[in-house]
Chain A
């Protein structure tokens, strides 16, 4: 290796310019190419060894008969073997240096880049992620690889310390060792890739447990890393359901856990992580990105022409299945009627349909359980408030939910307090922005928040008062970009330093300060 392979500064991977017909025309071909490959076979990968199986399958949420991937489910002994391989592998991986590791991650990024459309097509099928969102997810995965590769090189230089005559002081960052990555299905490449790339870039080995709904995407990620030059010994894949993750979390030799998912599972992981296994000689930090109950505040001087489309996109794109998605609107009473009226009209015309259709505004949710959960909240909203708009018709095959706008909900309604993770938006009138901030402040979650206002004083006020990790002003509240909107929540929304931000990698390293006496026989040598 010759020095720093990262000659170019980081830049986000450009998304497809889908407003051009010629670009759109390429999508159908890529879907056809992918379909010839289905179902994808996802093995358990332990080091270089693979074991195929057919224990678990993922299907198209828009057509549950369509098989997308079948996967082997890792046994407890697979998990054990994967952790052992990781323990054996991470030292030499770390010793190869940040530049060499970065070069492998950039290789993985290049591999993904070459297959962007096919990978997006896989997300369309496996997670019913609509094309623009699927494409953005692939781009974000590439961004994480590129960004953390550069960050790790920077980190390897250490930090400057005070130097006085007679001593040499160094602050170094060293890997934690084995990182268990437990990934969600909603950003099936990007989030799995981000956590994995952060750990690998800093010299850790990773055992990846993907969501049971998206093993196919995880397999592609591992293929990319291997093709890029990440040694098989430092990336293992253990597909399965909750018990595989639990076995991984409990394992004595796992040094840290990176998790993105729901609050209940996150808390379970944290409880398991604090209890040392017999013979365990370290603490297991948990890096967790959890749920949200994200509010958009609309001040009286907001530009509704801008606010309405942005609120719609934030609440209903990908059927609201983003931890950053808008789930409540807190609108100033002076414009509440007007907003509600226009929002209701705009929701009524949303197109609920298949993810592979570009015109689809709202795709199906991920599975039957999700569909039932959203339906339960919809019934609650009807009982505890008033449904003002609902888009129809909704296809009957597949896990579809009608997007809904509800209002006049009782203050203690579960619809206002719990994460629904579906296309249901609650609108509340507030007497002023202060009251809106009080309501936001009462929530246990603090992930994203939005504000539509034109008075700079209002913007300052909300910025200073909000507890959220990501505040978006006069724009949608989803779609954080690596390096531009470092992403992560406060309170019950997460523990971590922000993904895609300058401090993220610090969670995957330990610090080591070395102070050397340079005096010999009374001389500084």
Chain B
């Protein structure tokens, strides 16, 4: 049916012993749990949420509404309201419900809940503004970890909002690039075979750069976004930063990719900035999408080469629900193993496409990461020719392990206030507690050989 269902090619089969060896080496380099006492608490909370569907839904809906609550009292009322929907609430929750019947009780419950959500948010979001996060970026860099800034924000529905988002991107490019000049040298983070690798790295979303992007009529939104993206590309070039264009749902994929490749083809960007796009492995047609990007990259004379970040994709539920609601073919792999196999196939295609492109593999799946490292070495490349990326808050242990073994690792660091960050936070939490998630399997103590088994 799909390419991913085919048996692995013999070359891939031959990688297996090396994948297991590297995977074991990475696992051994994970920091001991004792170093992250708060993580242990989070892990227990997540485990509780993962095991009870109704409770998980109630908690996520609560986390989602927190920024819209106007007082601790309001917050506590919402929490009680969500929990009252549970068919049979566990004892701690019944206790919380009782507390919520009095004003004083609600103040206490609201404060506790607000504290909990804030704590959770701070695990994933590094600061309200790029300036406030510069210290974290510097510390990470000092520990051998590069970073990428992602600006969280409300949806863009007006021109003023698009302008503000573009201003925030420009501000991030300037401030991070400026701060990065004083960072100490970390050769393996700032160069590969083809060129130097920018220290400052900022991500932008096309849907935030225009209120006009319509899935069924991309042209007007593309033109409008282009007017804001061009100055950002110019700025990134002049301050020597990398600008990465994120991918969102399938609704905007064609528009985003077409726009980025078109702008990068313009003469003024022939020698920079360093720029990148995203490939989502959960999409069934991602191999064809990659072929399109590679055709472009191979025929493009521009330098430095385009970076392609391979991810699994963060809109799986959305894509599935939307396709089912409309009666459209489901665009994503529905089985995790199919998606994982595709991820590995795309990894190999990408590695073979160098030096026309630069490759970043973004995954928390130890198997996928070990596979990328093994395939990269098998291709005769240096470890430094492969970038590995993780998400702040979800991939911290893997990040530490990769850094301690000298790999080039970059951590994607969202920046923004709680209101803006909530949609991101909920997506990350859903991902982390999904029964299919590698991280939950790992947290549940699944044996290493199972975690590293070929999908």
Which A residues fall within an 8 A CB radius of B? 11-15, 17-21, 24, 131-132, 300-305, 308-309, 312, 334, 342, 344-346, 348-349, 351, 357-361, 454-457
Contacts of A348 in B (CB 8 A): 158-159
In the bound assembly, the distance between CA atoms of A18 and B251 in angstroms comes to: 9
Given contacts A19-B216, A454-B64, A455-B81, contact A345 B211 (CB under 8 A): yes
With contact pairs A14-B327, A19-B254 given, residues A455 and B65 touching in the complex (Cβ less than 8 Å) = yes
Interface-central residue, B64, B70, B158, by most chain A CB under 10 Å: B158
User: Is the CB–CB distance between A456 and B82 below 8 Å?
Assistant: yes
Tell me the total A-B contact number using a CB cutoff of 8 A.
91
Is B69 in contact with chain A by the CB < 8 A criterion? yes
8 tightest A-B contacts by CB? A345-B158, A14-B327, A18-B216, A359-B217, A19-B215, A305-B155, A358-B217, A346-B157
Task: Indicate if the CB atoms of B220 and A15 lie closer than 8 Å.
Answer: no
- A451 and B329 CA atoms in complex are apart in Å by 30
Please classify the interface of chain B as helix (H, G, I), strand (E, B), loop, or mixed, using the class held by over half of its residues: helix
Cα distance A454–B75 in the bound complex, in angstroms: 12
> Measured between C-beta atoms, what is the minimum distance from B70 to chain A in Å?
6
Neighbour of A303 across the interface among B68, B157, B326, B328, CB < 8 A:
B68
Complex Cα–Cα for A308 and B157 (A): 8
Q: B157 touching A358 by the CB < 8 A rule?
A: no
The answer to whether A302 and B68 touch (CB under 8 A), given A19-B254, A342-B158, A346-B157, is yes
CB-based contact A345/B157 at 8 Å: yes
CB <8 Å contact, A309 and B216: no
- Whether A349 pairs with B158 at a CB distance below 8 angstroms is yes
Q: Nearest CB to that of B62 among chain A residues?
A: A454
When C-beta atoms are compared, the residue in chain A nearest to B219 turns out to be A359
Distance between B162 CB and nearest chain A CB, rounded to angstroms: 9
Interface residues of B (CB under 8 A from A): 61, 64-65, 68-70, 74, 77-78, 81-82, 84-85, 154-155, 157-161, 211-212, 214-217, 219-220, 250-251, 254, 326-328, 423
Question: How many Å lie between the Cα of A205 and that of B74 in the bound state?
Answer: 59
B349 to chain A, nearest CB (A): 23
- Most A-side CB within 10 Å, residue of B77, B84, B214: B214
- Known A334-B70, A342-B157; judge A14-B326 contact (CB<8 A): yes
Alpha-carbon distance between A486 and B44 when the two chains are bound, in angstroms: 44
Contact B85 A456 (CB under 8 A): yes
Alpha-carbon separation in the docked complex, A501 to B159 (Å) = 42
B78: contacting residue among A13, A342, A455, CB under 8 A:
A455
Residues of B near A19 (CB, < 8 A) are: 215-216, 250-251, 254
Question: How far, in Å, is A248 (CB) from chain B's closest CB?
Answer: 37
Q: Give the Cβ gap from B420 to chain A, nearest Cβ, in Å.
A: 10
State how many angstroms separate the Cβ of B202 from the closest Cβ of chain A: 22
Q: Which residues of A lie under 8 Å from residue B423 when comparing CB positions?
A: 305
Is the pair B216, A301 in contact by a Cβ cutoff of 8 Å? no
Residues of B within 8 Å of A17, CB to CB, are: 326, 328
**Most chain A CB neighbours (cut-off 10 Å) among B215, B216, B326:** B216
In contact, B254 and A345 (Cβ under 8 angstroms): no
Check B327 against A12 for contact (C-beta < 8 Å). Answer: yes
A11: which B residues are within 8 A, CB to CB?
327
- Would you give 21 A-B contacts (Cβ < 8 Å), ordered by A? A13-B327, A15-B327, A18-B215, A300-B68, A301-B65, A305-B155, A309-B157, A334-B70, A342-B157, A345-B160, A346-B157, A346-B158, A349-B158, A349-B211, A357-B217, A359-B217, A359-B220, A454-B64, A455-B77, A455-B78, A456-B84
Within the complex, which residue of A131, A312, A344 is in contact with B216, where a contact is CB–CB below 8 Å? A131
Measured CA separation A349–B250 after assembly (Å): 23
User: Which residue of chain A has its CB nearest to the CB of B249?
Assistant: A19
Alpha-carbon distance A357/B220, docked complex (angstroms) = 11
Question: Which single residue of chain A is at the shortest CB-CB distance from B65?
Answer: A454
A21 to B257, CA, bound (A): 13
Contacting pair A456 B81 (CB below 8 A): yes
Contacts of A301 in B (CB 8 A): 65, 68-69, 74, 78
**CA A249 – CA B220 in complex, angstroms?**
48
- Most chain B beta-carbon neighbours within 10 Å: one of A19, A131, A455: A19
CA of A256 to CA of B65 in the docked complex: distance in angstroms? 50
B65 near A351 with CB under 8 A, answer no
Are B70 and A300 in contact, CB atoms less than 8 angstroms apart?
A: yes
Beyond the given pairs A360-B217, A457-B81, 9 more chain A to chain B contacts, judged by CB atoms under 8 angstroms and listed by A's residue number, are A15-B326, A15-B327, A345-B160, A345-B211, A349-B159, A454-B78, A455-B65, A456-B85, A457-B77
B254's partner among A21, A132, A309, A312 (CB-CB below 8 A) is A21
Q: Inside 8 A of A131's CB, which chain B residues have their CB?
A: 216
- Give bound CA distance, A13 to B327, whole Å: 7
What's the minimum C-beta distance from A123 to chain B, rounded to whole angstroms? 16
- Across the interface, do B328 and A24 meet the contact criterion of CB distance under 8 Å? no
Nearest CB on B from A38, distance (A): 24
Contacts of A132 in B (CB 8 A): 216
- Give CA–CA (A523, B159) in the complex, Å: 86
**Bound Cα distance from A14 to B216, whole angstroms:** 16
CB distance from A317 to the nearest CB of B (A): 12
Most buried by A among B64, B77, B212, B217: B217
Across-interface contacts of B157 in A (CB, < 8 A): 305, 308-309, 312, 342, 345-346
Which of B81, B154, B328 is in CB contact (< 8 Å) with A14?
B328
Question: Which A residue sits closest to B252, measured CB to CB?
Answer: A19
Q: From B157, which residue of chain A is reached at the shortest CB distance?
A: A346
Contacts of A12 in B (CB 8 A): 327
Alpha-carbon distance between A131 and B215 when the two chains are bound, in angstroms: 13
B258's closest neighbor in chain A, by CB?
A: A21
Question: How far is B220's CA from A67's CA once the two chains are assembled, in angstroms?
Answer: 30
Residue of B69, B70, B211 with most partner-chain A CB within 10 A: B211
Contact flag A24-B216 (CB < 8 Å), given A345-B211, A456-B81: yes
Most central of A18, A312, A358 by chain B CB within 10 Å: A358
Residue of B nearest to A11 (CB): B327
Residue on A nearest B210 in the bound complex, by CB: A349
Q: Which residue of A lies closest to B327 (CB)?
A: A14
Chain B residue, CB-CB nearest to A357:
B217
Q: Write the nearest CB–CB distance from B367 to chain A, whole angstroms.
A: 32
Complex: A17 Cα to B328 Cα, angstroms:
7
Minimum Cβ distance to chain B for residue A135 (Å): 10
